[in-house]
Structure 1
């Protein structure tokens, strides 16, 4: 099962983020259901973890079983049970299955602006040697 390091915005609040390490793809699905689809960012894929579907879902029930949501009938149900229904539920094995948009993955490098050459200021040449170039009066633009 593929794991990743992520940043989690608690309650979907981007001002309150915490790092989480070696999070499985299935756990990311649960965290997105609890905190919102935009809450998991800076996804950085890491190594795989050897765990079967039943063990992973049991682990998630133990960690997040208290998180509830309402089903179509208005009944409170566990978010984990809703994402992974039934006794033989299949856990997400890799990040691709989650279809997370590319902007939520960690950038490989930062792009910095290229330095620009300062524009050379061209001074007006005066008509006669020793005469200074005339500077336009800013107020002349507003004459009636």
Structure 2
């Protein structure tokens, strides 16, 4: 496998199992409600900003982003462990930046694990290598949407 063999295209419903396979291979399949088949189907129906990199052997990685008309955000990037370190992640990020830039995004942001909160990985070096600059803020919010809805009814 060489980087020149890699091609990028938007994902389709037929690719969902490959996306899940790569997510699981990296140990990042934490919540089926967010990473599973139904969620990926909704993503593809809503706003397909899920791109795959593939070669003759199949799908090797993906990048998922979002664009709200003012900002672009890379939500997730994942490359199969067997082909990590060969430039595929950089290829995917570059594609996402070009895609969002062509839509009019003035910036692209990402929330990256920096290893300071019991995270297994520190990915800031990768993001800086591809041109991202760290900012002195880290905000990650997660709550159960269903619980919020149920509390409003009381």
TM-score (norm 2): 0.25
**TM norm structure 1:** 0.26
> Which is bigger in relative contact order (C-alpha 8 A, separation at least 6)?
1
Point out the structure with the larger helix share: 2
